Amino acid sequence: MAYNDDAVLARLSALNESHDSIATAAQWIMFHRRHADRTVQLWMQRLKDSSSTKRLMLIYLANEVAQQSRIRHKEDFIIAFSPAIAEAVSVAYKGAPTEVQSKIRRVVDVWRDRNIFESSIQKAMDSRLEELDKARGSSKNGFGGNPFGSAAANVPSEFTPLISAHQSVSKLSAPLKSTIASADQEYEKQTDTSTPAPSAPVYAARLNGLLRTLANAENAVADCVKARESLVSGLEKLLETHRAALEGDRQSADKFGKRKREIEEKKQQVEFGIMQALGSVDQNGAGAEDSGHHKQDEERPQMEALTPEMEAFTPPSGDVPPMEALPPTTGEEQSVGSSGIEVLSNAASSYQTLPISTNGSNKRRRVDEGEDIPDVGGGDAIDADVAAMLQEGSQA
């Protein structure tokens, strides 16, 4: 594609988060390095018109181009970026989310460590970022600002070494992908057998450049390895510490669980004893109440019966003569009618009655001695045998 403003803007607009996209655009831009000044102007224009995420992609693109230019000792883009890079970093950093700001900080730190730009330009970038941090009420904390936000002040001391190690890993790993990709691409290009071999001096120069590229990639990877080893070591120490603390906490939990069960058993025993004591008191109270009722029943006076007690009939000593059978009634006796029966019942009511004996055979009425049998009237109608029977009863 021929170089022009539309072609550059199209390349910049097509950027995405993938490393291939950034590396491809960087290679095309570096191919047209004689237009470095115009490319940087268009890059700055696109950066100001883009969102925070797109601005981060453009910063990554500038990082790729600047580092490749430094490795290849092509100063065109280093010179072109120097007047604008501090302002560009400030524009991308201002108002961006904390995550994006941290990534921009990492890129600036890489430039400082590898001396990509002159010290005056590097100080200008640091100064602008510091001013923006102060303006938003936060200061730079080690690397990349405060990765934990406002809660970093409350981070336990045991995590402080881990934070530093993690920051070092993040700082070194951010540009590592582009460095590795560039070294791989340069190696494949110089070792491709299908490409005609150049002249010996040119080929020697290319191989020399490839050696420097591979050495830079090797050093970058070695630094990242050391940083990750330090981070892993710190994590393992912290993990072992917390594993030991976890075991102690489990033992304490088991101990207090046993004690709790022991106290629960004792509590149940005490409650059972209380219930037994309450039961015996209730039984004693009920027994006392029952005895009181019995005592009242015993002390209660005997009430006089509604009818006088009848004396038990005692048969006289000796043989009791059998009762004579009554002769059958005649028609004349039947004529006495109900008047005779009424007279007899009136006479009988004036005398005491005897209780019925248990044998049921001697049903007699007692008549006081010396008393005459009253005249029941109607003598002509009463049979003489009935009068004799009444007389025998009185003698008995």
What is residue 149's DSSP assignment?
Answer: G
Give the residue among 221, 174, 209 at the shortest CA–CA distance from 69.
Answer: 209
What CATH number corresponds to the domain at position 86? Answer: 1.25.40.90
Alpha carbon distances (Å) from 204 to 8, 198, 208: 33, 9, 6
Domain-located, residue 168: yes
Identity of the highest mean pLDDT range in 92-96, 284-288, 308-312, 346-350? 92-96
Residue 367, pLDDT > 60, answer no
Higher pLDDT, 251 or 321: 251
Domains held by the chain: number: 2
pLDDT of residue 129: 92
Check whether 199 has a pLDDT greater than 80: yes
Q: Are residues 67 and 141 in the same domain?
A: yes
Q: Is the pLDDT of residue 283 over 90?
A: no
How big is the chain by its Cα radius of gyration, in Å? 66
Q: What's the pLDDT score for residue 171?
A: 79
Question: What pLDDT sits at residue 186?
Answer: 84
Tallying the residues shown for the chain, one arrives at: 396
What's the pLDDT score for residue 80? 92
pLDDT, one tens digit per residue, over 136-173 is 764 444 444 444 444 444 667 777 778 888 888 887 77
In this prediction, residue 145 carries a pLDDT of 46
Same domain, 6 and 101: yes
Compute φ and ψ for 315, nearest 5 degrees: -70, 145
**Do 134 and 174 fall into the same domain?**
no
In a domain, residue 114? The reply is yes
Kindly tell me if the per-residue pLDDT of 383 is higher than 80: no
What pLDDT score was predicted for residue 144?
Answer: 45
Q: Say if residue 60's pLDDT is above 90.
A: yes
Q: CA–CA separation, 23 vs 31, rounded Å?
A: 12
Residue that finishes a domain, picked among 180, 210, 234: 234
Residue 319 in domain: no
Each residue's pLDDT tens digit, 214-245: 888 888 888 889 888 988 988 898 888 889 99
Reduced DSSP (H G I as helix, E B as strand, rest coil) percent helix, strand, coil of the chain, to 5: 70, 0, 30
Do residues 47 and 131 both lie within one domain? Answer: yes
* 338 found inside a domain: no
pLDDT at 279: 77
Q: Are residues 199 and 81 in the same domain?
A: no
Residue with the larger pLDDT of the pair 357 and 63: 63
Rounded CA-CA distance 252/245 in Å is: 11
Whole-angstrom distance, CA of residue 268 vs CA of residue 11: 82
Per-residue pLDDT tens digits for 13-46 = 888 888 888 989 999 999 999 999 999 999 999 9
The per-residue DSSP string of 368-382 comes to: -TTPPPPP-S-GGGS
Residue numbers of the domain that contains 224: 164-234
The span from the CA of 330 to the CA of 30, in Å, is 169
Q: Is residue 302 part of a domain?
A: no
DSSP labels, 220-281: HHHHHHHHHHHHHHHHHHHHHHHHHHHHHHHHHHHHHHHHHHHHHHHHHHHHHHHHHHHHHH
Residue with tokens 């001096």: 201
Lowest-pLDDT range of 29-38, 47-56, 258-267, 354-363 = 354-363
**Residues 1 and 130 placed together within one structural domain of the fold:** yes
**Is residue 172 included in any domain, yes or no?**
yes
Q: Is the pLDDT of residue 327 over 60?
A: no
What mean pLDDT comes out for the span 122-135?
89
SS3 of 273-315: HHHHHHHHHHHHHHHHHHHHHHHHHHHCCCCCCCCCCCCCCCC
Over 80: is that where the pLDDT of 210 sits?
yes
Q: Are residues 121 and 34 in the same domain?
A: yes
Q: Is residue 323 part of a domain?
A: no
Return the pLDDT at 390.
66
Same domain, 113 and 8: yes
Domain boundary among the residues 115, 145, 175 is at 145
Position 158 in a domain: no
